Structure 1
Amino acid sequence: MTVKLAAIQMCSGTDPERNAETMARLVREAAAKGAIYVQTPEMTGALQRDRAALAAILRDQDSDIIARSAASLAAELGIHVHVGSTAIARGDGKIANRGFLFDPRGRLACTYDKIHMFDVDLENGESWRESSAYTPGKEARVIDLDFARLGFAICYDVRFPALFRAEAVAGAEILTVPAAFTRQTGEAHWHILLRARAIENGAFVIAAAQGGKHEDGRETYGHSLIIDPWGRILAEGPEAGEAVLVAEVDIAASAAARARIPNLRNARDFNLETLPALAKGGLTA
């Protein structure tokens, strides 16, 4: 089945209303180009490092402006709209980094809370502790759409291949990785990681990214990508700024790639043995 899929690249600021307007404009542009599924980046609603300022704009998912706008766009345009993620106030007073998928009637089809928290110290002194603000998710999810089975991930999740393997084994033909990758880590690993996830799972990978210098002071890598199951880049965004990527894909290419390299089927269980160091005399009979 051949369909058009899209990823939109943004440079979200600190104002959710302004970001919602940008999202709506870019989603409409993708739909006008024939896309039936459109993905937005991680933290579409706002990139805000200041904790107090973030708390001031937080809403629950029923009143969040990004979720509500995406639902309206999906119904208006008759397409699937996948909000890569936005910050959502949970009922327990904590925060979720949550993605939303709305169907062509504007109904909420699925949510996904980012599982792996970006807690790192980088070489340039850049330090992040995502777990200090967000509660990690516990559920990996796949969903059947009318054109393919789709699996969910967000940004730092891409470094944990077991998540993608589980989704591929469950039949996901499209793996999604909306992101706000830092420039430093993106330059080193973005393309390699995403192409690897596509190749090792025989799946399309769609990764809508944030790109550019943001109002809260951070800089993200951009280069939104749509990759086929053989690891070929079908569409790529710029280093910074807005972009609408649309690729026409044949979903059957996933099954074809898995038939050519049947590693999902050939995987075997194994035991790991840790051996002691050899004595100075080496092995003895």
Structure 2
Amino acid sequence: MRTSGILSRLSFGLGKLKMQEISNKDKKLRVVLVQMKSGPDWWENLMLVQSLIDEARSRWPRFDLICFPENCLFRGPRSLVCADKHDRPVLKFEGSRLKRDSSFSLAVEEMASDWDFGVCLGSVLEQSEFENRPYNTLLWIEPKLRFVSYRKLHLFHFISERLRYEEFMDVHPGESPQLINFGSFRFGMSICYDLRFPEFYRWMAIHEGMEVALVPAAFTHLTGQDHWHCLLRARAIENRSYVLASGQWGWHQSERAGRIRCYGHTMAIDPWGNILNELPEDGDGMFMVELSRQKLSESRDKLQSVNDSFFQLSPRARHL
């Protein structure tokens, strides 16, 4: 009798899981990807973000998520970050809420209060305990002003005759990955240079069930023309996951590296490695893609590479 009861409950549980799996397979998520050119004036960038959101609303009456590039609210000389603390483009968080301690944070919160969809606000500068080295933080905003943040782990490090860029001079690295459930998908967060570390995405896929990789970026034209497409498609294929990459475009000014050109080419890639849509190298723009639960499941059923991985990866502790 006891065995029969256990088997009955087990059968019921498996039945519920199967029904849930069937219902999930048909679920879809509409995502808008935005390409833009940010500058050193955070107020102008905020207005541009709002303008692009208004454009998306007019083009697609219904979408679930909109994604912006890295540094979307500030991209310019770091001397401006050290200006008046009440006006500088740096945010602070208190749990899942934004600390309202500057004109910048008040403006971000006021703008976000009108959003009834998810927003991946690329990346912003977040105050750290290291006065002149803020975090480069992916900011995820859900309706009712719930904030989720991921601090960039891998900081851009490039040295050549044409360009020298050492992000760690101005930015403090984060310490852990971050994932979030949204709709019927599990999103793994990353920023730009993270893209070059396959073990990072592999860990999120194997240990945390990542199904969509977010990659807001300000990829340099110098490296992007050779690596951008290859890396994005590889991360999608390796992890049987969607990859959503919003990019900066055009020329930008940096105190340490001088003028830097960003590569653009915002794109979305499906779990089989197919490019679903892509923007050109230059110019603001946007497109909408539909993430399909069924397509994700079919891709993973065909090729079991995530489940068959021999190696179990563990992130290392960082003390910098």
Aligned to 2:136: 97
Q: What is the DSSP-based 3-state SS (H/G/I as helix, E as strand, rest coil) of the residue aligned with 2:295?
A: helix
8 Å contact 1:70–1:83 — kept in the other structure? no
In 1, Cα distance between equivalents of 2:66 and 2:51: 12
User: Which of 175, 196, 207 does residue 234 from structure 2 map onto?
Assistant: 196
RMSD: 1.9
Which residue in 1 is equivalent to 2:96? none
Aligned to 1:165: 202
SS at match of 2:307: helix
Partner of 1:276: none
Structure 1 window deviating more from structure 2 (130-139 vs 74-83): it is 74-83
Do structure 1's residue 41 and structure 2's residue 52 form an aligned pair? no
Which residue of the partner structure matches residue 269 of structure 2? 227
Deviation at 1:214, TM superposition (A): 2.6
Deviation at 1:269, TM superposition (A): 3.4
Q: Percent identity?
A: 31
Tell me, what secondary structure is at the counterpart of 1:55?
coil
Counterpart Cα distance in 2 of 1:241 and 1:54: 26
**Are the counterparts in 2 of residues 29 and 244 from structure 1 also a CA contact under 8 Å?**
no
2:299 equivalent to 1:267: no
Between 82-91 and 4-13, the greater mean CA deviation after superposition: 82-91
Match in the other structure for 2:221? 183
CA drift of 1:167 comes to 1.3
CA contact (8 A) 1:96 1:135 kept: yes
Give the one of 170, 173, 176 matched to 1:133. Answer: 170
Number of residues paired by the alignment? Answer: 267
Instruction: Name the aligned partner's letter for residue 45 of structure 2.
Output: N
Contact kept? 1:148, 1:173, Cα under 8 Å: yes
Q: Tell me the CA shift for residue 72 of structure 1.
A: 4.5
Instruction: Give the structure 2 partner of residue 107 of structure 1.
Output: 146
In the alignment, structure 1 residue 120 sits paired with structure 2 residue 158 = yes
1:16 aligns with: 42
Which structure 2 segments of 5+ residues have no match?
1-26, 93-98, 313-320
Whether contact under 8 Å (2:91, 2:105) holds in the other structure is no
Question: Structure 2-normalised TM-score?
Answer: 0.78
CA contact (8 A) 2:70 2:124 kept: yes
SS in 2 for 1:197: helix
Asked if structure 1 preserves the Cα contact closer than 8 Å seen for 2:42 and 2:89, the reply is: no
Asked if the contact 1:151–1:167 (Cα under 8 Å) also holds between the matched residues in 2, the reply is yes
Distance 1:105 1:31, change over 3 A: farther
Alignment of 1:250 onto 2:292? yes
TM-score between the two structures when normalised by the length of structure 1:
0.87
- What amino acid sits opposite 1:26 in the alignment? L
How far the C-alpha of 1:215 sits from its partner, in A, is: 5.0
